[in-house]
């Protein structure tokens, strides 16, 4: 069974739904919902998911090679979202490592990649994407960070949600196949072209504590390169904020 697509009116989280399916889910299953009651973001944050406005979509993809081969998948997903936006005539979006999609200085889309299975055997990735099409003032306030939506980028013309969903699914199906065959190397140049953090003063916090430096791109595996006073550091996983002077 290949390529199941489900659209729910209301669900706790499209990603949680695919996690629950586990082995039952066919490869490249896609679950979308009009609204989520417990939408999840990275690092335990929640993702506001009211009905009628935005896209909430998750995709389960199996990989035979194990998740040792999947470093870079979440960055590649950022590129996949950019390609979908491009198909929609939007070229100005950029990527904030690891995979926030920014435009006009605000967050346009969020990506959550969750891996399960074996390190060097069969495994599955659940890729969740939240894309802002139209944000209300209330949502902007609740977001707690600067946000942006497709309606603003398209000069206030509300984008057709079906077309946006179709562009996203097409890009995802093609991009994931490309990632499976060629790995992150097929995405690294496009990532670099749209890297919002290159040359920018950053504060990085994670298991290594807090580090200040200047964004210096990414390496071939997708690790953030940070130019610090003590030299160049590669960062695999962390929270990144832009330091304002
Ligand atoms: C982030 O930037 O923190 C990631 C946000 C990911 C949100 C999407 S919406 C569809 C899918 N279902 C979820 O519960 N989360 C992801």
Which of the listed residues 111, 130, 239 should we mutate to test ligand 1's pocket, taking the one with most ligand atoms within 8 A of CB?
130
Residues 134 and 42 in one domain: yes
Alpha helices in the chain (DSSP H): 14-21, 73-87, 137-143, 150-153, 161-182, 188-193
Write the CATH number for 160: 3.30.930.10
pLDDT, tens digit, 9 for 90 and up, residues 199-221: 999 999 988 899 999 999 999 99
> Domain of 211?
201-242
CB 200 within 8 A of CB 241: no
For residue 72, give both structure tokens: 């870079």
* Measured CA distances, 45 to 42, 136, 179 (Å): 6, 20, 27
Positions annotated as catalytic residues are: 42, 107, 243
Closest CA relative to residue 47, chosen from 92, 107, 98, 7:
107
pLDDT, tens digit, 9 for 90 and up, residues 135-158: 989 889 988 889 999 999 887 676
Helix 161-182 vs helix 73-87: crossing angle, to nearest 10: 140
Ligand 1 atom with the smallest distance to the CA of 39 is 14
Distance from residue 12's CA to the centre of ligand 1 (Å): 11
Domain count of the fold of the chain: 2
**Phi and psi of 147, rounded to 5°?**
-130, 165
Reply yes or no on whether the pLDDT at 3 is more than 90.
no
* Res. 125 pLDDT band, cuts 50 70 90: very high
Reply yes or no on whether the pLDDT at 1 is more than 70.
no
Residues 73 and 159 in one domain: yes
Reply yes or no on whether the pLDDT at 7 is more than 90.
yes
Ligand 1 atom with the smallest distance to the CA of 38 is 14
* Res. 226 pLDDT band, cuts 50 70 90: very high
How far is C-alpha 169 from the geometric centre of its chain's CA atoms?
13
Residues 140 and 189 in one domain: yes
Question: Is any ligand 1 atom within 6 A of the Cβ of residue 47?
Answer: yes
Residues 40 and 15 in one domain: yes
């Amino acid at each position: 069974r290949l390529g199941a697509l489900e659209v729910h009116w209301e669900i706790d989280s499209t990603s949680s739904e695919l996690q629950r399916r586990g082995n039952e889910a066919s490869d490249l299953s896609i679950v979308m919902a009009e609204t989520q009651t417990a939408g999840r973001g990275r690092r335990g944050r929640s993702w506001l998911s009211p009905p009628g406005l935005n896209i909430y979509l998750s995709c389960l993809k199996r990989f035979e090679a194990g998740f040792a081969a999947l470093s870079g998948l979440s960055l590649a997903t950022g590129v996949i979202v950019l390609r979908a936006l491009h198909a929609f005539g939007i070229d100005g979006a950029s990527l904030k490592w690891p995979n926030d999609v920014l435009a006009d200085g605000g967050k346009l889309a969020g990506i959550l990649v969750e891996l399960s299975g074996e390190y060097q055997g069969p495994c599955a990735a659940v890729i969740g994407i939240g894309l802002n099409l139209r944000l209300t003032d209330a949502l902007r306030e609740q977001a707690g960070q600067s946000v942006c939506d497709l309606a603003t980028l398209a000069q206030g013309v509300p984008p057709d949600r079906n077309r946006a969903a179709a562009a996203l699914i097409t890009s995802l199906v093609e991009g994931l196949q490309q990632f499976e065959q060629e790995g992150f190397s097929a995405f690294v140049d496009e990532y670099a072209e749209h890297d919002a953090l290159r040359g920018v003063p950053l504060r990085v916090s994670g298991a290594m504590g807090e580090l200040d430096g200047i964004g210096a791109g990414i390496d071939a595996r997708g690790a953030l390169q940070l130019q610090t006073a003590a030299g160049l550091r590669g960062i695999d996983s962390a929270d990144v904020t832009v330091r304002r002077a």
